[in-house]
Amino acid sequence: MKRKFKKRWKGISTNHKLMFLGVFSILFLTVGYASLNRLFEIKGTSTVEYQSGVMFTKVETTTALSGSVDYGPFITNPTTFSANVSFPNTANGVLVFSVTVQNYSDVPATLLSIDGFDHFNTTDPTCITARISGQKVGDVLAAGESKKITITVLGGSSCSAATTSKSINFQFHYKLKDSSGGDTSLGNAVVYLTENKVEDTVESGGSGLVKVDNKGLITTSTTPREYRYIGPNPDNYISLGTSENDVYAYSFEQNLGNSNMKVTFSTLEECKMDANYSSDVVKDCYEEKVLSAGEALNFRIIGIFDGKLKIIAKDSIGNFLWNRLNNNWESAELQYFLNDLYLENIDQGRISEHVWNLGGSRTYNDVTAQMYYDRERSTDVYSSNVVTWTGKIGLMYPSDYGFATSGGTLMNRNTCLSTAIYSWEKTNAINCKDNDWLLDKSNIQWTMTPSAAYNNLLCHIGRSGWVSYIGGTSNLLYAIRPTMYLNSDVEFLSGTGTEIDPYILG
């Protein structure tokens, strides 16, 4: 039996707190109407400049009866409304939020859908419900028009618990019309980026999308090896929408002698079956929620490879065990997790089936980004490990991390690429890691690349910027950022690629 299991996503609270994330995805094109720069205050952050067609301008609580607002409300970016609320069961409670939305473009905008609304009202606890008024699917927001959207949440006396809360995620999708009345779109994503966003050069410490040659160096060639985003913070943000369902994991813990290993499965039945064969179980199977329906799926674009966008999760989704048995990705428990329930909740027909290279390296302290690139694509693997694997979701390669730097004043990008990544933590190479957007200074990150010399070692990226190997079959739990390729025909409907205005897919 092929065993599917996943590690729990650390940081997810088991209590239910009510969070509203009303994400208004605005679909616009910068030709056919005037692109407007707006300055506005985002509560809790700073004044930012934002360029778009439709955006929130104000959010407030207008009614609070027998219910409490524990967090917010505020606009966390130009199109996201957030709040945490709770209800006691001593009375019928009402909480009302008002959101002002304005169309700053010179063309009409139509509300296409409100994701998450029906799901919220039909899932437990059904004693808490919501209504939306002021805008319904099909309504048109005229050019320059401003309207108020009212979100009303009801709960209280019909709930069994003393205090009850519930997670809500509402995503509003608007689409602008072009000057002739048709829908706007940025067009094919790859074509749009290659024709509009590629830079001939990026200065040391800068960010941008560049073409690279067979050594990973920036080139102006019309036939580059690939396109890559480099630098500390390029405009490569992309939204895949929201998770389609709640996802639960079932875990037990094993005693390893001096520590415990936590093993997580997709179903309670699988968990119990494995636990029954383990004599060292110290904690029996239990349930945890790892992903909420409607939760935002935020990614970033690594680059363009063979006509496809390669994307990676903006942040780690938690600390996971890579595999208990060996460093063969084909049978890795982490692989089963990513390509099972996680895939089911994010794939909307846009993720491509891809052949992933699984070549390994026999050393680490002397390996540059280009050396990793070549070894990842080699046939040098440990024993019977597979050379390639075909599937949808993997992890980044060490070379992805290495090539993402733009260097700096102490060491430019070309010098960074000729320096072993293991040495990037040194003072003279600080620009290499600090100007690399794939570095996570808060987490150690797993990659897909195994050792070719040993069956238990895996490549990982340290918080201080180095790349090394470590035992992946022990109880080590490191951060993962799911990585995938999108179909070559995906389109951008809107966005500028910034964190507050990510590209929206068609």
Task: Identify the residue with better confidence: 273 or 392.
Answer: 392
Q: Is the pLDDT of residue 358 over 90?
A: yes
Give the per-residue pLDDT at 77: 61
Give the per-residue pLDDT at 481: 96
- Summarize pLDDT for 281-332 with one digit per residue, the tens: 878 887 777 777 788 889 999 999 999 999 999 999 888 888 878 999 999 9
Q: Is the pLDDT of residue 379 over 90?
A: yes
Q: How far apart are CA 492 and CA 183, in angstroms?
A: 12
CB of 165 within 8 A of CB of 127?
no
Q: Is the pLDDT of residue 356 over 90?
A: yes
Task: Identify the residue with better confidence: 266 or 196.
Answer: 196
- Summarize pLDDT for 81-119 with one digit per residue, the tens: 777 888 998 889 999 999 999 888 888 887 777 767 777
Which among 332, 362, 303 is positioned nearest to 448, based on CA atoms?
332
Give the per-residue pLDDT at 110: 79
Q: What letter would DSSP give residue 340?
A: I
Give the per-residue pLDDT at 78: 65
Q: Is the pLDDT of residue 35 over 70?
A: no
Give the per-residue pLDDT at 184: 63
Q: Which amino acid is at 451?
A: S
Least confident of 312-326, 373-387, 400-414: 312-326
CB of 233 within 8 A of CB of 207?
yes
Q: pLDDT-derived band of residue 33, with 50, 70 and 90 as boundaries?
A: very low
Q: Which residue in this structure is represented by tokens 């139509």?
A: 110
Give the per-residue pLDDT at 489: 92
**Cβ of 454: how many Cβ atoms within 10 Å?**
17
Q: Where are the domains of the chain?
A: 18-181, 247-289, 315-482
Give the per-residue pLDDT at 505: 87
Q: What letter would DSSP give residue 101?
A: E
Q: Is the pLDDT of residue 141 over 50?
A: yes
Contacts of 418 (CB under 8 A, 6+ apart): 368
- Summarize pLDDT for 12-29 with one digit per residue, the tens: 333 333 333 343 333 333
CB of 351 within 8 A of CB of 343?
yes
Task: Identify the residue with better confidence: 298 or 35.
Answer: 298
350-369: average pLDDT: 96
71-87: average pLDDT: 77
Q: Is the dihedral of CA 264, 269, 274, 277 positive or negative?
A: positive
CB of 144 within 8 A of CB of 106?
yes
35-52: average pLDDT: 36
192-209: average pLDDT: 95
Residues of the chain with pLDDT > 90: what percent? 47
Give the per-residue pLDDT at 8: 33
Q: Is the pLDDT of residue 354 over 90?
A: yes
Greatest pairwise CA separation for the chain in angstroms: 71
Q: Which two tokens stand for residue 131?
A: 């209504």
Task: Identify the residue with better confidence: 447 or 139.
Answer: 447
- DSSP collapsed to 3 states, 208-248: EEEEECCCCCEECCCCCCEEEEEECCCCCEEEEEECCCCEE
Burial of 145 (C-beta count, 10 Å sphere; 0-12/13-18/19+):
middle
Q: How far apart are CA 121 and CA 341, in angstroms?
A: 23
- Summarize pLDDT for 143-160 with one digit per residue, the tens: 889 999 999 999 988 888
**Cβ of 42: how many Cβ atoms within 10 Å?**
17
Give the per-residue pLDDT at 257: 64
Contacts of 101 (CB under 8 A, 6+ apart): 24, 54, 55, 56, 57, 135, 141, 146, 147, 148, 149
Q: Is the dihedral of CA 371, 376, 377, 381 positive or negative?
A: positive
Give the per-residue pLDDT at 170: 77
DSSP 32-50: SS--EEEEEE-TTS-EEEE
Q: pLDDT-derived band of residue 454, with 50, 70 and 90 as boundaries?
A: very high
CB of 389 within 8 A of CB of 332?
no
Give the per-residue pLDDT at 227: 98
Average pLDDT, the chain: 82
Q: Which amino acid is at 261?
A: M
- Summarize pLDDT for 211-262 with one digit per residue, the tens: 999 999 999 999 999 999 999 999 999 998 888 777 776 777 777 666 666 6
Which among 347, 363, 479, 369 is positioned nearest to 424, based on CA atoms?
369
Give the per-residue pLDDT at 453: 94
Which among 388, 389, 417 is positioned nearest to 405, based on CA atoms?
417
Q: Which helix (H) or strand (E) holds 110?
A: strand 109-115
Give the per-residue pLDDT at 91: 86
CB of 337 within 8 A of CB of 482?
no
- DSSP collapsed to 3 states, 386-441: CCEEEECEECCCHHHHHHCECECCCCEHHHHHCCCHHHCCCHHHHHHHHCECCCCC
Buried b (16+ CB within 10 A) or exposed e, 478-501: bbbbbbbbbeeebbbbbbbbbebb
Give the per-residue pLDDT at 344: 82
β-bridge partners, 299: 238, 313
pTM to 2 decimal places: 0.68
Q: Which helix (H) or strand (E) holds 273?
A: helix 268-276
Q: How far apart are CA 436 and CA 260, in angstroms?
A: 34
Q: Is the pLDDT of residue 36 over 70?
A: no
Give the per-residue pLDDT at 42: 39
